[in-house]
């Protein structure tokens, strides 16, 4: 009997190289949609155990789900308020390099990025560097004047003006072929980041493939976008169409609701729940409740 157990174990062990281990680490997202009457019940507050919070029009332009492109520019209230010079914070940059001493990032985003790079290092991927982070309008305009519209965006129309995006390089190879680029493409969603301009979404984003440009949107949004292969434009359209969804990811539950906002209004959230509110930089806000 022991011999059979040993042989079975040996067969399983020898089979491991042929198993696609990475597939176990893809997001497992189960989404529940709601009909109009269920959405109205949530929106109007007729659900039990909820309380009202007030939303102002300014909140359309604040948060981590803001869409910035040629149609929707950055508003002054959209810019992250915790921007720092990364090179002056050794506790954040010890895991990666910066190309010069003038790389600026939101401190919150830098911390989240550092957490992600620490995870990559544990898997043997460690040659990361930040080539660009937050840019103010003046710097963005200088870049646009120097490089032209083929390689840069006008001031106010770049995600770099928000403080939510950064360009990541490899110290050894171009990101399109580097292990660092492949790791980010596969794993960034786990830490709330997305590859903002994927190869197969040029027609959607209007921007050519940029394997170095990542953007923070937060979890669970990054997981849903990964699962559904959505660019940010597609994801926001999806939420606007569905209005209210529930998602279960690795055993954790989330509810996500889109609310149009034309002026100040009250919305309903569950009692004793943790929630986050982000505008979409267009016409409304998205409320994410962490169950």
Which residues does the annotation mark as catalytic? 210
User: Beta strands 97-98 and 50-55: pairing type?
Assistant: unpaired
CA distance 66 to 275: 17
Which pairs count as long-range contacts for 151-154, CB under 8 Å and 24+ apart, including other chains?
153/70
Cβ within 8 Å of residue 208, ≥6 positions away: 197, 202
Dihedral sign, CA of 202, 205, 208, 212?
negative
Quote the DSSP letter at residue 178. Answer: S
27 Cα distance to chain centroid: 14
Could you give the C-alpha distances from 217 to 7, 112, 140, 223, 291, in angstroms and in order? 48, 11, 22, 10, 19
- Return the half-sphere exposure (C-beta side, CA atoms, 13 A cut-off) of residue 209: 9
**Rounded to whole angstroms, how far apart are CA atoms 137 and 121?**
34
Token pair of 210 as six digits: 């940029």
The helix (H) or strand (E) run that includes residue 185 is helix 179-187
| Residue 271, helix vs strand vs coil | coil
Angle at 135 between CA 132 and CA 140, to 5 degrees: 105
């Amino acid at each position: 009997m022991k011999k059979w157990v040993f042989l079975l174990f040996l067969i399983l062990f020898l089979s491991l190289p042929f198993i696609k281990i990475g597939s176990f680490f893809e997001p497992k997202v189960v989404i529940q949609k709601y009909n109009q009457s269920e959405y109205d019940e949530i929106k109007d507050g007729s659900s039990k155990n909820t309380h009202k919070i007030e939303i102002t029009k300014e909140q359309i332009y604040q948060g981590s789900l803001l869409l910035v492109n040629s149609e929707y520019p950055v508003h002054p209230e959209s810019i992250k308020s915790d921007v720092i010079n990364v090179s002056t914070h050794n506790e954040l940059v010890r895991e990666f390099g910066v190309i010069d001493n003038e790389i600026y990032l939101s401190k919150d985003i830098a911390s989240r990025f550092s957490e992600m790079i620490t995870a990559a290092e544990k898997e043997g991927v460690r040659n990361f560097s930040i080539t660009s982070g937050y840019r103010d309008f003046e710097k963005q305009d200088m870049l646009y004047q120097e490089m032209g519209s083929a390689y840069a965006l006008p001031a106010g129309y770049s995600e770099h003006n928000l403080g939510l995006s950064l360009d990541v390089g490899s110290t050894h190879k171009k990101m399109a072929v580097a292990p660092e680029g492949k790791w980010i493409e596969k794993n960034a969603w786990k830490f709330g980041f997305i590859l903002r301009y994927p190869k197969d979404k040029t027609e959607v984003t209007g921007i050519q493939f940029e394997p170095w440009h990542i953007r923070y949107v937060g979890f669970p949004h990054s997981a849903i976008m990964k699962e559904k292969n959505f660019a940010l434009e597609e994801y926001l359209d999806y939420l606007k169409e569905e209005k209210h969804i529930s998602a279960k990811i690795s055993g954790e539950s989330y509810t996500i609701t889109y609310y149009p906002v034309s002026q100040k209004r009250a919305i309903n959230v569950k009692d004793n729940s943790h929630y986050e509110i982000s505008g979409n930089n267009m016409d409304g806000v998205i409320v994410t409740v962490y169950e």
